Amino acid sequence: MTSGATSLNFKYKNYPLALVAQLVVSMMVIGAVHGQTYPMKVIRLVVPTSPGGGTDISARNIAPKLSEYLGQQVVVENRAGASTMIGNEYVARATPDGYTLLMGISSLAILPYIHPKVPYDVIRDLAPVSQVIHLPNIMVSHPSLPAGSTKELIAFAKARAGQINFTAGSVGSNPHLAMELFLSMAGLKMVHVPHKGQGPALVDLMAGHVPLAMANILGALPHVRSGRMRAIGVTALKRSVVAPDIASIAETGLPGYEVVQWFGVLAPAATPRDIIAKLHTTIVRVLQDTALKQRFMGDGGETVGNTPEEFAAIIRADLGKWDKVIRNAGIKPE
């Protein structure tokens, strides 16, 4: 008899043997069936932004197929506010049973360094399931700026240190930090002109009030196509499938430069591994749908579907990257 059985016999020596056997079998069945029976009710996919944005669109794109493949309805629930921290915290504090999930955004790895009191720990409190899509930013200029490539821009800016203004939306946003990383790697000095968002920033660029901008490719590309602004390069390491005619910054003057925004599904940290595995498998299956891939591509994104371990490694790498960029740029917590 094993030590486990001896312990069990001792613990329950005053109980009828049949009852003990029934208890043991029940516990074994519960453990084995746990992952097989999930899900048994509606799943909430929390979006930490307002309806209509990229995070919301990503969630609503995958929700119908997730519902179909899981056999339970997946409902998208917007919980916006506090730079996404309200929705993020809600999921981080939720019961870890697989019924409350987060459509997270890459700002998860930025917030700890620009907000002094983030009410959760992205590593400790959230469990990555899978990235859904990623998309690059794009550096654009007013047509009057005499630099049409990364190499030309770097040479032009080095000769005018501290004299060129740029906009990248709000302070601490992914486009802003993408620009700060560019300046750091290229050894340049420019002046950031903050805006409340990408829309106002691009309006000022097209009006000629600021000559250079870093922006989400989704919002900027139509203006590039219309000729109202010029593309310097995309921030992915390679060219984007959305705009294969536009070179990457890395290939045209700054090797190794890479910044992408991502959207991905996360769960509360203590969610059982079998549930995480089932969700991951289902998300990968959803992202293989041809129509869905085309829909995301139309919005500027490329589908991913990586493993929980790969997703976790990306988050950790982003935390290290943005910590360094923010400190070097002297950006203070708000």
Task: Say yes or no to pLDDT of 236 above 70.
Answer: yes
Q: Is the pLDDT of residue 177 over 50?
A: yes
Residue 317 confidence (pLDDT): 95
**Could you give the percent of the chain with pLDDT greater than 70?**
89
> For the segment 74-130, what is each residue's pLDDT rounded down to a tens digit?
999 999 988 899 999 999 999 999 999 999 999 999 999 999 899 999 999 999 999
Q: For residue 32, what pLDDT band results from cuts at 50, 70 and 90?
A: very low
Report the alpha-carbon distance of residue 141 to residue 167 in Å, rounded.
10
Whether pLDDT at 164 is above 70: yes
- The 3-state DSSP class for residue 303 equals strand
Question: How confident is the prediction for the chain on average, in pLDDT?
Answer: 89
Which pLDDT score is estimated for 17?
Answer: 54
- pLDDT for 5 equals 38
Given pLDDT bands bounded at 50, 70 and 90, which one contains residue 264? very high
Asked whether residue 8 carries a pLDDT value surpassing 90, the answer given is no
Long-range contacts of 157-160 (CB under 8 A, 24+ apart): 157/186, 157/188, 157/189, 157/190, 158/187, 158/188
| 44 strand-pairing partners | 75, 100
pLDDT above 80 (res 310): yes
Residue 204 CA, chain-centre distance (Å), reads 27
Instruction: Note the pLDDT tens digit of each residue in 141-161.
Output: 999 999 999 999 999 999 999
Residue (of 318, 141, 161, 171) closest to 232 by Cα position: 141
Distances (CA, A) of 70 to 67, 132, 275, 277, 311: 5, 17, 11, 13, 22
Q: Is residue 2 classed exposed, middle or buried when 0-12, 13-18 and 19+ CB atoms within 10 A define those classes? A: exposed
Looking at residue 202, what is its pLDDT? 92
Q: Which of 93, 89, 80, 10 minimizes the C-alpha distance to 51? A: 80
Cβ count within 10 A of residue 196: 9
pTM above 0.85, yes or no: no
- Span 233-243, average pLDDT: 91
Residue 10 pLDDT? 36
C-alpha torsion 222→223→225→227, nearest 10: 170
Say whether pLDDT at 213 is over 60: yes
Residue 333's pLDDT is: 72
Q: In which band, very low, low, confident or very high, does the pLDDT at 12 lie, cut at 50, 70 and 90?
A: very low
* pLDDT of 301 strictly over 90: no
Predicted confidence at residue 199, as pLDDT, reads: 85
The per-residue pLDDT for 16 is 54
Phi then psi for residue 66, to 5 deg, are -60, -45
Is a pLDDT exceeding 80 seen at residue 24?
no
pLDDT band, residue 30 (cuts 50/70/90): very low
Q: Which pLDDT tens digit goes with each residue over 52-86?
A: 778 898 999 999 999 999 999 999 999 998 889 99
Q: What pLDDT shows up at residue 2?
A: 38
Domains, the chain, ordered by start: 3-30 (no CATH), 43-134+262-329 (3.40.190.150), 136-234 (3.40.190.10)
Residue with token string 């969700």: 279
Q: Considering only 22-26, 32-36, 164-168, which range has the smallest mean pLDDT?
A: 22-26
Q: What does the pLDDT average to over 162-183?
A: 92
